Structure 1
Amino acid sequence: RLGARSGATPLSAAVSMRHVELVDRLIAAGAPVEQRLPGELTVLMVACALGLPEMAARLLAARADVHAIDAQGRTPLHCAAMYAFTARERSRVVALFDTLLLAGAEAGINQPAAGATPLLLLLGARAEPGSAADEDVLIAGLEQLLDHDARLDAQDPRGFGPLHLSALHGLLGVVQWLQRAGADADLRDGLNRTPREIAVMRGFVDIAAELDSRPRSGDVSMARFLREQR
């Protein structure tokens, strides 16, 4: 049960090294799957943060707690969502979410951690503005979360909802998908800004035009004009 000075345990180290055989041997030998790491992380959270569905499945089979909470209030699903924002492999994200949701993670699907639900983390609530993301991966993750009743009216501590975050990061395809799914384009953040205003502020004129659902008669929006000139 002794961990290294870094706080790592043999099991967490094996998971981080992606050493499947060693993980199996440690679990079979009785390695504690719920031994806490620094920040109250669990090994399952580590596997999710690294985007390792095969490791997550092994840990869950060994009775790892899918509802465990770390010092920041994050569950394994929150960790998976944070990974998914930067992921490039759609199949890996789908497998990871499936593994957790089938194990009962949906019970906390709208639970915020430091103010952000898994859906908001999937859309980059903790990322720097304009961070690159694979929109196909994000949409696949959104489909899974919404299939399990994730709420589209969630807002983080800044008041950012799903469309605010998509505008912040320049995710045109995600904006279009969210609008079709019923996300509120008129939702306002803590500074009374709409998603369209965030897009304008960030210089994403195509997204601003997409969100401009009420053009004035006889007045073409500059954002739409600029997009059509491309």
Structure 2
Amino acid sequence: MSELIVHHHQQTTLAIDPSDGMVNASLLVKRFSGRNPVEFLMLDDTQPTLASLAENNGKPLASHWQDGRLRFSRRPEFLRELTAAGIMRQKPGTVDSHKAAAPGVAGNGVRDFVPGLWAHSDLAAGLARWAECRGESWRPSPLAEFVEQVLAEQAGGKASTQKGTPESAAEAFAGLVNAATLQNLRTMDQLLIDGGLSLSARQQTLHARLEQGAKRESERQ
């Protein structure tokens, strides 16, 4: 593993391995009690991204992993396949522990950012949003915005190494609005995508628009 690139956002540490761009996912969500990056990898909503990454790496995932019950019943096998596909890797040790300082150097040692589950950088912002917003993806996520910005800078201004259509912000509201409203949100989302806004920023904008609409509706009554 190369010398890590480390950034800090409030109490959160973002560690990046410059050799392959992977992010220490365990470290990223450490301060969010009860949040384990493996849970994020197991989510139905994460599967399209995992499948796309594996395909891009030339190691497509077996189609049966789209079955959530199968993923959970055979979790170790699923995680091994993600590792083989270059999507994650596990480094042994205690997350955010300390390692001994160099000989002759006083103190309790230095923080060790290597142990933990490392994940593909294209998963990092989504993982941060999931951890910070407790699964409510429409909520603002300063951490996700920070991760997106750092990774974009690392990639030379490109927000993501993954090719294809940007993730829809409108779909986060699919179970909350009717079909006509959802279609309007999709149209607005495309305009925001064309304007270069990140997923988090688009979700915040759409949520604000829904709140404005609800307020106007209540005022009419």
TM over 0.5: no
Structure having the higher strand fraction is 2
- Normalised by the size of structure 2, how large is the TM-score? 0.26
- Normalised by the size of structure 1, how large is the TM-score? 0.25
Greater RCO between the two (CA within 8 Å, min separation 6)? Answer: 2
